[in-house]
């Protein structure tokens, strides 16, 4: 019997250990403190104030512009400065009146393409910029209207470092302005905006802007909806939606129009419907949407495409300001009808804007037609949005149910 530890075995183990040090993938090893974790990225068109920054870096040695378009993009990133964050958290030595400073750095660089601008960032940042934990991509309305969304996000889709789970939002003004903001409740704009989006079902007045959904939608029929963000003094305010058609932003939906769209897409999970009519027995009343189900089914009637949109909503009555007694079944039925009327109105408004004004099929009517009536779709798929979509009739039926009325009669 051989002993368990022999000299040849020692050699074998030594060789194995040596191999392990060589093949463990050390080329890509990176210390975590050598990374800057980008939390949000903003893309603007470069303005006159950017002229001169990075001058020469995106031109060839002869001074000729490299890209055919001389339009430059300004690319801004926000990343935390852990040192500042740690100092802030260890109690600002009793000086509570001190001005609130943001424990993050926001820097910009300009170039003709997004990737180039990102690389030029390395002229200003001494660590590796890591995008794997990015929460927000803010694109300014200008860029969305003039450059196009798919063109700008291509680099984010192609890069394996990024997830497909961050939020894409359109900013009313400049994206850089949004990133510079220092919200008090949360230090970083990216995290802040993502938090608002995650709680969108409280109002159902905005769309979710998930990067994955955006890509699916863009590659489906070149259109999409994205949430709108604006800066109001030192606050972030969200609401409404930007409508993208042929990869470019063509218009906006107001908050209640956005909810109309969400009803069609079966994405409403909450929110409130306000009835305000002092003449009626219910007076001023708030219906809180608890759940909602929508079925959209296309039909062909006498050569016309009709979309049946059946919405069924249920919820509770939460507030009533005219102090009437609600403990009354016929009254509740009337309330239900009034709520249905409101929702019907919201949906019609959304359809009016999307079908006739913007002619953008973000509702997915074309795809629904394709799936349910493929023969009809083959006839109309050419020029669907411009020629056929405005003529599509919608037959909306809303059924509302009031389940409870709160704690008092």
Partner 1 sequence: MIRDNDRVSSWQMTVIVISAINAVGILVLPRKLADGAGPDGWLALIMSHAVAAVAIVMIVKLGSRFVDQTFIEYAQVIVGRPLGLLIGGSIALAWLFLTARTTRQFGDVIKMFLLDRTPIEVILLSFLLLAAVLLRHGVEPMARLVEILFPLFPAALVIYAVFGIIEADFSNLRPVLENGITPVIKAAGEDLLSFQGIGPFLMLLPFMVRPERAKKAGLIALSFNLLMRIGFFVITVAILGVQETAHEIWPGLAIAKIIQVGEFFERVDAVFMAIWITVSFTTLVVYYYLSSLAISQLVRFRTPFPVVLPLLPVIYVVSLIPTNIIEASNYSDILDMAWAVSVLIVPSGLLLIATIRGLGRTKQQAEG
Among 143, 215, 228, 392, binds partner 1 (CB under 8 A): 215
Dihedral-angle region of residue 222 (phi above 0 means left; psi in -120 to 50 means alpha; beta otherwise): left
Among 57, 372, 381, 401, binds partner 1 (CB under 8 A): 372
Question: What strands lie across the sheet with 167-171, from one edge to the other?
Answer: 104-111, 73-80, 40-45, 136-140, 167-171, 224-232, 235-245, 248-253
Q: Which of residues 165-184 bind partner 1 (CB under 8 A)?
A: 165
- CB closer to partner 1, 76 vs 294: 294
Among 52, 91, 160, 303, binds partner 1 (CB under 8 A): 160
The site that binds partner 1 (CB under 8 A) totals a number of residues, namely 20
**If binding is defined by CB under 8 A, does position 164 make contact with partner 1?**
yes
Among 12, 151, 212, 318, binds partner 1 (CB under 8 A): 212
Helices (H), 129-265: 141-146, 149-158, 175-180, 189-198, 211-221, 255-264
**If binding is defined by CB under 8 A, does position 264 make contact with partner 1?**
no
Q: Please, what is the angle between helix 329-351 and helix 255-264, to 10°?
A: 100
**Which range, of 25-33, 114-122, 189-197, 287-295, touches partner 1 by CB under 8 A?**
25-33
**If binding is defined by CB under 8 A, does position 370 make contact with partner 1?**
yes
Q: Burial letters for 94-133: b for 16+ Cβ neighbours within 10 Å, e otherwise?
A: eeeeeeeebbbebbbbbbbbbebbbebbeeeeeeebbbee
Element (H, E) at 253: strand 248-253
What tokens does 216 get? 């699916």
Contact mark string toward partner 1, 120..139, x via CB under 8 A = ------------x-------
Residue 361 C-beta: closest distance to partner 1, Å: 14
**If binding is defined by CB under 8 A, does position 297 make contact with partner 1?**
no
Task: Using CB under 8 A, list all residues that contact partner 1.
Answer: 22-23, 25-28, 132, 160, 163-165, 212, 215-216, 219-220, 370-372, 374
């Amino acid at each position: 019997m051989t002993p368990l530890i022999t000299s040849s075995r020692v050699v074998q183990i030594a060789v194995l250990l040596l191999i392990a040090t060589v093949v463990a993938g050390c080329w890509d090893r990176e210390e975590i403190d050598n990374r800057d974790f980008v939390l949000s990225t903003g893309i603007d068109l470069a303005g006159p104030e950017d002229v001169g920054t990075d001058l020469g870096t995106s031109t060839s040695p002869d001074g000729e512009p490299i890209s055919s378009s001389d339009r430059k993009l300004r690319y801004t990133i926000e990343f935390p400065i852990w040192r500042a964050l740690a100092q802030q958290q260890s109690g600002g030595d009793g000086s509570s009146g001190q001005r609130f400073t943001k424990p993050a750095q926001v820097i910009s660089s300009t170039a003709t393409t997004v990737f180039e601008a990102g690389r030029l960032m390395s002229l200003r940042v001494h660590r590796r910029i890591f995008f794997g934990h990015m929460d927000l991509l803010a694109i300014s309305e200008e860029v969305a209207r003039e450059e196009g969304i798919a063109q700008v996000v291509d680099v984010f889709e192609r890069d394996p470092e990024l997830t497909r789970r961050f939020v894409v939002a359109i900013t009313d003004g400049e994206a850089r302005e949004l990133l510079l903001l220092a919200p008090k409740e949360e230090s970083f704009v990216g995290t802040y905006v993502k938090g608002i989006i995650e709680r969108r079902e409280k109002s159902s007045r905005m769309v979710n802007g998930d990067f994955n959904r955006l890509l699916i939608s863009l590659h489906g029929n070149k259109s999409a909806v994205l949430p709108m963000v604006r800066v109001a003094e030192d606050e972030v305010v969200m609401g409404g939606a930007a409508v993208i058609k042929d990869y470019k932003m063509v218009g906006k939906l107001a908050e209640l129009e956005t909810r109309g769209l969400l009803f069609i897409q079966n994405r409403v999970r909450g929110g409130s419907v306000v009835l305000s009519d002092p003449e009626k027995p219910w007076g001023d009343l708030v219906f809180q949407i608890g759940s909602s189900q929508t079925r959209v089914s296309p039909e062909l009637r006498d050569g016309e495409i009709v979309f049946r949109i059946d919405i069924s909503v249920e919820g509770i009555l939460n507030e009533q300001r005219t102090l009437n007694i609600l403990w009354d079944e016929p009254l509740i039925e009337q309330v239900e009808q009034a709520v249905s009327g409101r929702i019907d109105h919201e949906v019609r408004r959304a359809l009016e804007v999307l079908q006739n004004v913007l002619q953008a099929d973000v509702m997915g009517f074309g795809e629904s037609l394709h799936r349910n009536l493929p023969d009809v779709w083959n006839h109309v798929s050419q020029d669907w949005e411009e020629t056929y979509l405005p003529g599509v009739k919608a037959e909306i039926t809303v059924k509302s149910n009031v389940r409870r009325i709160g704690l008092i009669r």
